[in-house]
């Protein structure tokens, strides 16, 4: 079977990757985005080997590599003593072990290279500033100039495409927020490591830092409990929110507390996740990315899962006997994969935020695990090859 065309609702990472993967297989794609222009929120993101190998197959990795940074290691550090607990080697090691690189980049960099590739693809058309209800197939057909064979919901955690799928996932505020900000290399405290992705661990919260070559500085993310600002991507912090943040980091190393106090941004991102549910309607509508499986960022796999989704869906739509069969196979395989990644994130959350005697036990266990053993624990994640 070969479908003729697809309507993709949403032009984020999931939507652009899906469009590019489908178009490479000769399928016409209409990407419909309600925003009048594309502006990626947030700052940095980690692109692990399971995602970068797909980006290589799509032909966009070289453009990304010209701007991203490949850290030498992924380090776990005590938020109190700043002593290193353990690390997983990256850099050349990642390329050799997992046959693809591990990089960090600004979110806008990845979006731009995907967008440039989509715009250069004859089979793709981008429609900005267009909000169309999934149920209004006539409007979709009028905009695209043809009736879509399949509708892909890549419209994020508050997806409207889910309305067309019975028993679809439902969004829920996780009661955690992410404070994201950047700091120039010249202004960065000495404890920040310019050659690593570093997670500073402490009771009930943690801090992730890594360099971004595009800005000549560091991307910093503090994840802690927070108040629900409503269904928005980015919120302005109240005095109460800021006080809550600093309270949770009380008792951490004074240098980290000073870094948080100096944060000039009063912005944070509420962290939403979605429940389990159906990802497709059995006929012609399917979900990808956060619309299907938004999860907490404790495994740093949000973008990677969206990229894997796009590739897998395109492969099945171009090879299955029918659209319903392709959607059913996609849902079965990707649900299992996402569930395992979610479980890893849940484990990381416990390990990162543990307190009291359990924290001492965690530190001892990590101290006796060599880097190669920790890397082997990630083979199922980073070594996963959706292109095989």
Q: What is the pLDDT of residue 41?
A: 63
pLDDT at 132 over 70: yes
What pLDDT is recorded for position 27?
96
How confident is the model over 63-106, as pLDDT tens digits? 999 999 999 999 999 999 999 999 999 999 999 999 999 999 99
230: pLDDT strictly greater than 80: no
Confidence of residue 243 (pLDDT cuts 50, 70, 90): confident
Catalytic residue among 210, 330, 352, 384: 210
**What residue segments make up the domains of the chain, in order of their start?**
5-69+105-170+274-345
| Rounded CA separation 123/28 (Å) | 5
pLDDT of residue 196: 98
pLDDT tens figures, 259-293:
998 887 667 888 999 999 999 999 999 999 999 99
Task: Name the pLDDT band for 231 (thresholds 50, 70, 90).
Answer: confident
**Structure tokens that stand for 257 in this block:** 């507390």
How crowded is residue 201: how many other Cβ atoms within 10 Å of its Cβ? 23
Which residue matches tokens 């030498």? 72
User: Could you tell me if 52 and 61 are in contact, meaning their C-beta atoms sit under 8 angstroms apart?
Assistant: yes
Q: What is the CATH number of domain 5-69+105-170+274-345?
A: 3.50.50.60
- Which residues are CB-neighbours of 149 under 8 A, at least 6 positions away? 3, 4, 5, 6, 284, 323
Across the chain, mean pLDDT equals: 92
- Residue 61 contacts residue 121 (beta carbons within 8 Å): no
Q: How many angstroms separate the CA atoms of 26 and 1, rounded?
A: 12
Say what the pLDDT of residue 134 is: 62
Q: What percent of the chain has pLDDT over 90?
A: 78
pLDDT digits (tens, 9 = 90+) for 182-207: 999 999 999 999 999 999 999 989 99
pLDDT at res. 79: 95
- Smallest Cα–Cα separation from 312: which of 327, 295, 293, 294? 327
Q: Residue 152 — pLDDT band, cuts 50, 70, 90? A: very high
At residue 151, does pLDDT exceed 90? yes
Active site residue 200: no
Percentage of the chain beyond pLDDT 70 is 97
CA 90 centroid distance within chain: 19
Task: Find the angle CA(324)-CA(329)-CA(331) to the nearest 5 degrees.
Answer: 95
Check whether 255 has a pLDDT greater than 80.
yes
pLDDT confidence band for 1 (50 / 70 / 90): low
What is the pLDDT, as a whole number, of residue 40? 63
Q: At 95, phi and psi to the nearest 5?
A: -65, -35
Concatenated DSSP letters for 215-254? TTEEEEEEEEE-----S-SSEEPPHHHHHHHHHHTTTS-H
Structure tokens at 219: 């991307």
22-70 pLDDT, tens digit per residue, is 999 999 999 999 887 777 666 799 999 999 999 999 999 999 999 999 9
Binned at pLDDT 50, 70 and 90, residue 300 comes out as very high
């Amino acid at each position: 079977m070969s479908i003729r065309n697809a309507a993709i609702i949403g032009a984020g990472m999931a939507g652009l990757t899906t469009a590019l993967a489908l178009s490479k297989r000769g399928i016409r794609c209409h990407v419909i985005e309600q925003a009048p222009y594309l502006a990626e929120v947030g700052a940095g993101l980690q692109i692990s080997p399971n995602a970068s190998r797909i980006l290589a197959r799509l032909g966009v990795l070289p453009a990304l590599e010209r701007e991203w940074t490949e850290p030498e290691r992924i380090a776990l550090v005590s938020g109190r003593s700043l002593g290193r607990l353990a690390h997983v080697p990256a850099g050349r090691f990642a390329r050799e072990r997992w046959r693809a690189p591990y990089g960090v980049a600004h979110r806008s960099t990845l979006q731009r290279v995907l967008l440039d590739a989509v715009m250069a693809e004859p089979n793709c058309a981008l429609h900005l500033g267009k909000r169309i209800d999934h149920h209004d197939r006539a409007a979709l057909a009028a905009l695209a100039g043809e009736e879509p064979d399949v509708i892909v919901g890549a419209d994020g955690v508050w997806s409207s495409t889910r309305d067309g799928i019975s028993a679809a996932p439902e969004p829920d505020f996780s009661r955690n927020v992410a404070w994201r900000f950047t700091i120039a290399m010249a202004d960065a405290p000495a404890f920040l490591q310019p050659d690593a992705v570093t997670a500073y661990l402490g009771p009930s919260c943690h801090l992730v830092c890594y360099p971004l070559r595009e800005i000549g500085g560091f991307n910093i993310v503090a994840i802690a409990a927070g108040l629900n600002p409503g269904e928005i991507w980015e919120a302005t912090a109240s005095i109460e929110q800021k006080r809550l943040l600093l309270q949770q980091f009380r008792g951490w190393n004074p240098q980290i507390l000073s870094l948080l106090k100096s944060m000039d941004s009063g912005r944070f991102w509420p962290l939403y996740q979605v429940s389990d549910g159906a990802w497709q309607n059995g006929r012609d509508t399917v979900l990808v990315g956060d619309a299907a499986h938004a999860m907490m960022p404790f495994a740093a796999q949000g973008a990677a899962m969206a990229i894997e989704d796009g590739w897998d869906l395109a492969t099945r739509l171009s090879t299955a006997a029918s659209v319903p069969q392709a959607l059913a196979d996609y849902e079965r395989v990707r649900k299992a994969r996402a569930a395992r990644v979610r479980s890893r994130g849940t484990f990381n959350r416990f390990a990162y935020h543990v307190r009291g005697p359990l924290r001492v036990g965690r530190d001892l266990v990590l101290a006796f695990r060599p880097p190669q053993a920790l890397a082997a624990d990630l083979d199922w994640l980073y070594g996963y090859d959706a292109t095989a």
